[in-house]
A = this chain, B = another copy of it.
Amino acid sequence: MKQKNFISKALCALLACAACTGVSAQQKEYPKQEQMRPGMSEYWTPQPKIVTPGEASERAAVSAPSDAIVLFDGKDLSAWESPKGEPARWIVKDGAFTVDKKTGDIQTKQKFENYQLHIEWRIPENITGTNQGRGNSGVFMQGQYEIQILDCYNNETYVNGQTGSVYKQTPPLVNAMRKPGEWNVYDIIYSAPIFKEDGTYRIPPYVTVIQNGVLLQNHTAILGTTEYIGFPKVVKHGAGPISLQSHGDPSPAISFRNVWIREL
């Protein structure tokens, strides 16, 4: 969830409906789309079934295949930067890196289109907070489309904001969380949208998400950007980075490890 950004987003003149439009505000004479509140795009039922994932060895998953680009090898964040192009300042320790909430989001220097992404993440054992304020982060496809990360182990929230949701669009098929303190694994298959000249999708983005070996999203069509407020927006873009979110909530920060990507 991208709460801290919502004011600047609210300034966007018009929000665009799913799968429709690249809206420009140049024609002043038209009525404006009415502003929504966040709770209008949040729903809480039915809560996805809880599935206990299989046991994993300490090496939670396989290491990078030979054709993968290793985005984090346990040692440094040299593949990452801030959105402004400054060095990524999250904290590297013990083969993992942890969000530094003072320094904001980070993203890969390299940009991608179609890929298979492997990323492991851990909610700290001493996590606090409730709802969206408990271990909130997210991984963004092409810097646009968020697959939510949240502590959903014994923590309920709106279902289209759960771990593994296409944020505020499509809930996960099930809830396959490991306990705080244990590593979760995301295996994500993503294909970039194809745009028409007018900025709308000829082919939308598609995403498959597997968490801890359990399918959460099965070739789900993404309807547009994953907005905190209002409808998804369809805005033309090219190749983009993998982004990780530094969320503004006060709960203890989450960690990542074993990040690699294979271009398809």
Chain A stretch 14-29: residues in CB contact (< 8 A) with chain B:
14-27
Q: Which of B17, B65, B171 contacts A20 (CB 8 A)?
A: B171
Instruction: Please tell me which stretch of A94-102, A200-208, A240-248 contacts chain B, meaning at least 4 of its Cβ atoms lie within 8 angstroms of it.
Output: A200-208
B203 touches A215 (CB 8 A): no
Q: Chain A 1-44 against B: per-residue CB contact (8 Å), 1 yes, 0 no? A: 00000000000001111111111111100111111110111111
Chain A stretch 191-236: residues in CB contact (< 8 A) with chain B:
191, 194, 196, 198, 202-203, 206, 208, 210, 212-215, 218-219, 221, 223, 230-231
Q: How many residues of A contact B (CB 8 A)?
A: 85
By secondary structure, the A interface counts as loop
Q: Chain A 138-182 against B: per-residue CB contact (8 Å), 1 yes, 0 no? A: 000000000000000000101110000000111101101000000
- Cα A18 to Cα B174 with chains together (Å): 18
- Cα A215 to Cα B37 with chains together (Å): 36
Q: Which residues from B are CB-within-8-Å of A215?
A: 116, 189, 262, 264
B43 touches A21 (CB 8 A): yes
Decide if A250 is an interface residue (CB 8 Å cutoff): no
- Cα A37 to Cα B30 with chains together (Å): 18
- Cα A39 to Cα B176 with chains together (Å): 38
B16 touches A43 (CB 8 A): yes
- Cα A45 to Cα B22 with chains together (Å): 9
If A65-B214, A169-B18 touch, whether A34 touches B31 (CB-CB below 8 Å) is: no
Q: Which residues from B are CB-within-8-Å of A110?
A: none
Q: Which residues from B are CB-within-8-Å of A45?
A: 14, 21, 23-27, 30
B55 touches A230 (CB 8 A): no
Decide if A57 is an interface residue (CB 8 Å cutoff): yes
Would you list the 10 A-B pairs with minimal beta carbon distance, nearest first? A54-B62, A54-B63, A30-B44, A34-B39, A52-B66, A57-B57, A62-B213, A33-B43, A219-B219, A34-B40
List A residues at the B interface (Cβ < 8 Å).
Answer: 14-27, 30-37, 39-47, 49, 51-59, 61-67, 114, 116, 118, 156, 158-160, 168-171, 173-174, 176, 187, 189, 191, 194, 196, 198, 202-203, 206, 208, 210, 212-215, 218-219, 221, 223, 230-231, 262, 264
23 contacts between A and B (CB under 8 A): A14-B43, A17-B41, A17-B169, A18-B18, A19-B169, A19-B170, A20-B171, A23-B46, A30-B44, A32-B44, A33-B41, A33-B44, A34-B39, A34-B40, A40-B40, A41-B231, A53-B66, A54-B63, A57-B57, A61-B61, A65-B212, A65-B214, A116-B214
